[in-house]
Amino acid sequence: MEIDDPGALIDLLPDTGAMTWLRRGEGLVAWGVAASYRSHGEGRFADAATWWRDVARLAAVADEVEVPGTGLISLGSFAFADTPGDSVLVVPQVVVGRRGDVCWVTTIGTTPLEIPTLEAQPAPAAPVNLTFASGALTGAEWESVVWEAVFHLNAGELDKVVLARDLIATADEPIDVRWPLRRLGADYEMCWTFHVDGMFGATPELLVRREKGLVTSRVLAGTIRRTGDDEHDLTLAATLARSSKDLEEHEYAVRSVADALAPYCSSMNVPEAPFVLHLPNVMHLATDVAGVAGAGGATVLELAAALHPSAAVGGTPTKLAVEMIAEIEGMDRSRYAGPVGWMNAHGDGEFGIALRSAEVDPDDGRTVRLFAGCGIVAGSDPESELAEAQAKFIPVRGALSAD
């Protein structure tokens, strides 16, 4: 049902079961579990899509508002790799959303639920005595992995591979995920702030949106760190826009997305040149690919499955790059760089890529794995790539800190 503006959506979240998909104050927050489904392995997307179709087919839906995000929805977070491929779809009990001037609340359950009282919750507590340590590999060890990748790239075995590393944060007490979510939403409002089943972050990359027949995808590849000096950053942006290494990396990523979407679209628009996307800590080369959904109407989850993994998070050729990641990266990515987002009963929705992200340990709640990755091509310098990865840790690392 449509409601008056409830204020900042992220402030409505209770201390348990919180889920988010927000950008610039718009989107969805949700809590409670009306139903959930965990899928695994290579068939994780197809199995989840089948389960969701069955849920949507049997549901009785009363949607008076009829804007994207109203009615029956689910939020999902999917693993990067096929093995073990642990993924999840959650149908929340309560959803509160905003799109433009329209605000709404949805309740979902096997029996009618009362409309909840929507009030800003007390501010969450900061993590207690947070410490950071290297994850699977130290910085020096990861540089060695990058050198190995560059050797294979220079030998012509593949064009690009995306390598990631992790950082471990540990607190004395369980971490209230609403603390980093609030800070990410405030500091990175141009990104999509998300949280599903312990996986949270602020991603700048929209993998795919499907809305009333229009399919869109934002491709990011090619990065440079900001200095905080606006004049100097403009110079760096111009340098990024002319960088042959970054333009080559970006072209691979755009081609990967366009080729994956083409079978599902009757027409497509792929801009010839990227623009520079300015974020608080880094700048990216960006391209928005758009298309018109073709006959058959693949759902947003099926489109996400077709796109994953794109060259932006895997490499080119994708199959060879993913095999190299499994061989040399030295860690399980879990749901990092996998699709995360929401969809409705009609197959519309949005899925981003779980970048600038972290995962809370479900067993103790005190440990968080932070993730960051870099696109490696033949001209990559391991020391520079490590610095880029460190820059990409900054959003979540800063959001977790008590300062």
Instruction: Please identify every residue annotated as catalytic.
Output: 160, 205
72: its two tokens: 């029956």
- Spatial distance between the Cα atoms of 53 and 50, rounded to a whole number of angstroms: 5
350 exposure class (CB count in 10 Å sphere: 0-12, 13-18, 19+):
buried
Q: Report the C-alpha gap between 380 and 373 in whole angstroms.
A: 13
Q: How far apart are CA 92 and CA 131, in angstroms?
A: 33
Distance in angstroms (rounded) separating the CA atoms of residues 97 and 104: 5
Peptide bond just before 263 cis, omega within 30 deg: no
- Tokens 């410490």 correspond to what residue? 131
For residue 401, report the phi and psi dihedrals to the nearest 5 degrees.
-70, 155
**Token pair of 263 as six digits:** 């079978």
Alpha helices in 27-158 (DSSP H): 44-58, 139-154
Report the distance separating Cα 333 and Cα 65, nearest Å. Answer: 38
Q: Which residues neighbour 97 within 8 Å (Cβ) at sequence distance 6 or greater?
A: 9, 27, 28, 29, 69, 70, 103, 104, 105, 106
Q: Which residues touch 321 (CB under 8 Å, ≥6 apart)? A: 158, 160, 161, 162, 311, 314, 315
